[in-house]
């Protein structure tokens, strides 16, 4: 055995799976996932990969629905929603980007895309299409599992909300309800994907303070230095298109070239 698992989640030295069933919850206690085991919809056209991932995620305790095409996946979502979608970008028929856009258009379901290593452009396009995170194939189950867990944590409540429950904050035209996880502008609720919401919460928690991409990767994506800063950039773009009056002249989420991003000043 190697001492260091290549490509492993930096935060976790080992992987000790527990076969869990029923309503046992998370063994690590880090996540607060509403309901029982997370249901994963896996959309992957290659049967071997699909079977491998289904086996591994099921072994982890997830409930896995595995389908072959994007059309099938969308149909499945319409009937029985999942907690997270694991989506291969290269699909026959409707491709992964289109599936991603359609899922994103109809809700805030977290999406993790599976991508080939040499397809940098695909990564960017997938993130722009609304994916929350991506995993490069071939990937160990624990890597995918860590990403699933991280993205699901973003759908949970405010992780630092130990003190008295704060009321909704007002920032210009934006109202951010940290407790209810609702963001509205001029009184209209804005539908934000979980990662976008978590990013906005992270930035708006300290208005005027510059957060580097690495800091944001660590706090929002649980990835830190070994993460891909394009995750942050793509998510900022999507967030701006939803909350800014003019995404080209952002007011709420401002870029400081060479340093990172900052909420305000308004």
Partner 1 sequence: MTGWLFRGLRTRLLVAFALLSVFTALAVAGIGYVQARDGILQRTQDNAAVEMTNQLKQLYPLPRRPVNSSALQLAADRLNGRRNSALVTSGGHSEGNMPASVITPELRGAVQSGRVAWQRVDVGGVTQLVLGSPLLIATGDRRNPTVPSGIEVYELRNLDAEIEAVNRLARDAWLAGGAALVVALILAVLAAGSVLRPVGELQRAARRLGAGDLDARIAVRGSDELASVAETFNSTADSLQRHVGELRRMEADARRFVADVSHELRTPLAAMTAVTDMLDAEAKRLPDAAGEAVRLVSQETHNLARLVNDLIEVTRFDSGTASLAVDDVDVAEAVRATLRARGFAVETDLPDGIRARVDPRRLDVIVANLVGNALRHGAEPVTVRLRGDQAGITLSVEDSGSGLDEEVLPHVFARFYKADTARSRSEGSGLGLAIAWENARLHHGELTAGNRPGGGAVFTLWLPREVRQ
Q: Does 20 bind partner 1 (CB under 8 A)?
A: no
The residues in 94-123 that bind partner 1, with binding defined as CB under 8 A, are: 116-118, 120
Three-class secondary structure of residue 42 per DSSP: strand
Three-class secondary structure of residue 88 per DSSP: strand
Q: Please identify, using beta-carbon distances, which residue of 191 and 225 lies nearer to partner 1.
A: 225
Q: Does 56 bind partner 1 (CB under 8 A)?
A: yes
What sections of the chain are H helices per DSSP? Answer: 47-59, 70-79, 96-106, 120-128, 141-155, 194-204, 213-221, 229-243
Report the first-to-last Cα separation within the chain, whole angstroms: 54
Per-residue tokens: 139 = 């990937």
Q: Which of 69, 224, 242, 247 binds partner 1 (CB under 8 A)?
A: 224
Q: Does 137 bind partner 1 (CB under 8 A)?
A: yes
Residue indicated by tokens 């990013």: 199
Residue 86 burial class via C-beta count within 10 angstroms: exposed 0-12, middle 13-18, buried 19 and up? buried
Q: Please identify, using beta-carbon distances, which residue of 146 and 197 lies nearer to partner 1.
A: 146
> Measured from the CB of residue 117, what is the shortest distance to partner 1 in angstroms?
5
Q: Please identify, using beta-carbon distances, which residue of 140 and 237 lies nearer to partner 1.
A: 140
Per-residue tokens: 65 = 């629905």
Q: Please identify, using beta-carbon distances, which residue of 17 and 166 lies nearer to partner 1.
A: 17
Q: Please identify, using beta-carbon distances, which residue of 24 and 106 lies nearer to partner 1.
A: 24
Site residues (vs partner 1, CB under 8 A): 1-4, 6, 8, 10, 13, 15-17, 46, 48-49, 51-53, 55-56, 59, 116-118, 120, 137-142, 144, 212-214, 224-230, 258-260
């Amino acid at each position: 055995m190697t001492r260091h698992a290549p490509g492993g989640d930096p935060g976790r030295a080992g992987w000790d799976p527990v076969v869990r069933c029923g309503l046992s919850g998370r063994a690590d206690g880090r996540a607060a996932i509403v309901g029982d085991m997370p249901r994963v919809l896996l959309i992957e056209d290659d049967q071997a990969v699909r079977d491998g991932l289904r086996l591994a995620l099921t072994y982890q305790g997830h409930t896995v629905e595995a389908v072959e095409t994007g059309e099938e996946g969308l149909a499945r979502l319409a009937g029985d929603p999942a907690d997270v979608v694991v989506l291969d970008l290269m699909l026959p028929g409707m491709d992964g980007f289109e599936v991603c856009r359609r899922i994103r258009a109809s809700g805030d379901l977290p999406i993790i895309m599976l991508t080939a290593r040499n397809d940098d452009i695909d990564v960017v396009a997938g993130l722009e299409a609304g994916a929350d995170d991506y995993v490069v194939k071939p990937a160990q189950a624990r890597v995918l599992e860590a990403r699933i867990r991280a993205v699901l944590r973003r759908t949970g409540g405010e992780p630092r909300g130990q003190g008295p429950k704060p009321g909704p904050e007002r920032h210009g035209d934006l109202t951010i309800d940290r407790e209810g996880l609702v963001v509205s502008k001029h009184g209209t609720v804005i539908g934000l994907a979980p990662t976008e919401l978590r990013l906005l919460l992270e930035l708006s928690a300290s208005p005027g303070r510059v957060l580097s991409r690495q800091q944001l990767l660590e706090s929002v994506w649980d990835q830190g230095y070994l993460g891909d800063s394009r995750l942050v950039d793509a998510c900022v773009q999507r967030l701006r298109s939803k909350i800014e009056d003019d995404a080209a002249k952002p007011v709420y989420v401002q870029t400081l070239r060479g340093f990172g991003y900052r909420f305000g000043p308004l």
